[in-house]
């Protein structure tokens, strides 16, 4: 992933990218990738090792992407899959918030963008992602589950140019539930835990199924320390949803045309959705089954 993180930055700067041989993933067939000789020579001139960005599936973990509107639950499900599969969960939203709280050189610029409900530029996101990938590589981690990236066609093309994404999971949730979830998000100012105080109970009508999503309440010690994110206001959330919907269609089609997009409509909260998502991914959570049987 160290090579990947460096190449991400080089690609944005206009340097020749690694050419990765396209392959299709299935339960039984994979093909190895190659390095374009010219790109390898360019990378060596820049001090890069001429290593393949892709390895056989036996040598690396999954490389998945989560798509979905803000507040849909990408972080929750990506985190659970990260634990289940033993791969790092990399959420670009968290990277942005960490930078905001660091008082670093980008903090002021990011604060203005986030508070206005705008999307952070490709260059900033890729810079933050590259740093995170380098940190993962230093710890010997392989594979990843990306949450919040790519959001634009340009980002998708950059990512495809340097590594192979095995699967893109597109989470969907009706807008009224999305809005309620976003406005109900809370963070513990002491431990950093994420919770949601919204209790969503949508009645079935005119052929549309009902939906219930229980609140994700904090433990007693965190109750008095809950705060809302500064960008979780109704005006900003609606603007974020509108911007996302406008930009998401081309990205979804980008991966759909490559046969990598899995559309998943969330039927409710975690208890209802998690088992169905696992079935859609042909996975089993043995710990979850043991907990249910206990």
Residues 68-109: pLDDT tens digits? 998 898 999 999 999 999 999 999 888 888 888 887 778 888
Q: What is the pLDDT of residue 151?
A: 86
* pTM score above 0.75: no
Spans in the chain with pLDDT lower than 50: 14-57, 293-294
Q: What is the CATH number of the domain that holds 216?
A: 3.40.50.300
pLDDT of residue 49: 30
**Are the beta carbons of 175 and 72 closer than 8 angstroms?**
no
Contact 124, 110 (CB under 8 A): yes
Per-residue pLDDT of 6-29, as tens digits, reads: 556 555 554 333 222 222 233 222
Expressed as residue numbers, the domain containing 252 is 2-293
State residue 27's pLDDT score: 29
- Tell me the C-alpha distance between 268 and 200, whole Å: 9
Q: Among 159, 175, 184, 185, which residue's Cα sits nearest to residue 245?
A: 175
pLDDT at 290: 52
Domain tally, the chain = 1
For 165, the token pair is 């994404």
User: What does the mean pLDDT of the chain come to?
Assistant: 78
Q: Which residues are catalytic?
A: 74, 151, 185, 229, 240
CA distance 170 to 139: 29
Copy the structure tokens of residue 119: 């999307």
pLDDT for residue 10: 54
Q: Give the pLDDT of residue 190.
A: 93
> What are the helix (H) ranges across 146-210?
153-162, 175-184
CA angle 155-117-265, nearest 5°? 65
């Amino acid at each position: 992933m160290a090579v990947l993180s460096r190449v991400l930055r080089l690609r944005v700067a206009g340097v020749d990218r690694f050419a990765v041989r396209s392959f299709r993933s299935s339960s039984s067939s994979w093909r190895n990738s190659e390095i374009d000789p010219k790109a390898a020579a360019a990378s060596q001139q820049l001090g890069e090792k001429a290593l393949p960005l892709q390895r056989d599936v036996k040598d690396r973990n999954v490389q998945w992407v989560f798509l979905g509107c803000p507040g849909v639950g990408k972080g929750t499900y990506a985190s659970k899959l990260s634990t289940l599969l033993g791969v790092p969960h990399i959420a670009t939203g968290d990277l942005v918030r960490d930078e905001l709280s660091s008082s670093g050189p980008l903090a002021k610029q990011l604060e203005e963008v986030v508070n206005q409900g705008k999307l952070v530029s490709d260059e900033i996101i890729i810079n933050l992602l590259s740093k995170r990938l380098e940190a993962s590589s230093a710890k010997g981690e392989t594979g990843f589950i990306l949450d919040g990236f790519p959001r634009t066609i340009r980002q998708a093309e950059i990512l495809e140019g340097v590594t192979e994404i095995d699967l893109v999971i597109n989470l969907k949730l009706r807008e009224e539930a999305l809005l309620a979830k976003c406005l109900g998000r809370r963070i513990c100012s002491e431990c950093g835990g994420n919770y949601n105080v919204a209790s969503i109970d949508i009645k079935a009508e005119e052929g549309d199924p009902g939906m219930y999503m229980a609140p994700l309440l904090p433990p007693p010690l965190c109750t008095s320390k809950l705060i809302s994110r500064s960008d979780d206001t109704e005006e900003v959330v609606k603007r974020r949803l509108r911007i996302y919907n406008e930009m998401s269609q081309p990205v979804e089609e980008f991966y759909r045309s490559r046969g990598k997009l899995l559309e998943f409509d969330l039927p409710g909260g975690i208890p209802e959705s998690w088992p169905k998502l696992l079935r859609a991914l042909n996975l089993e959570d043995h710990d979850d089954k043991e907990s249910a049987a206990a």
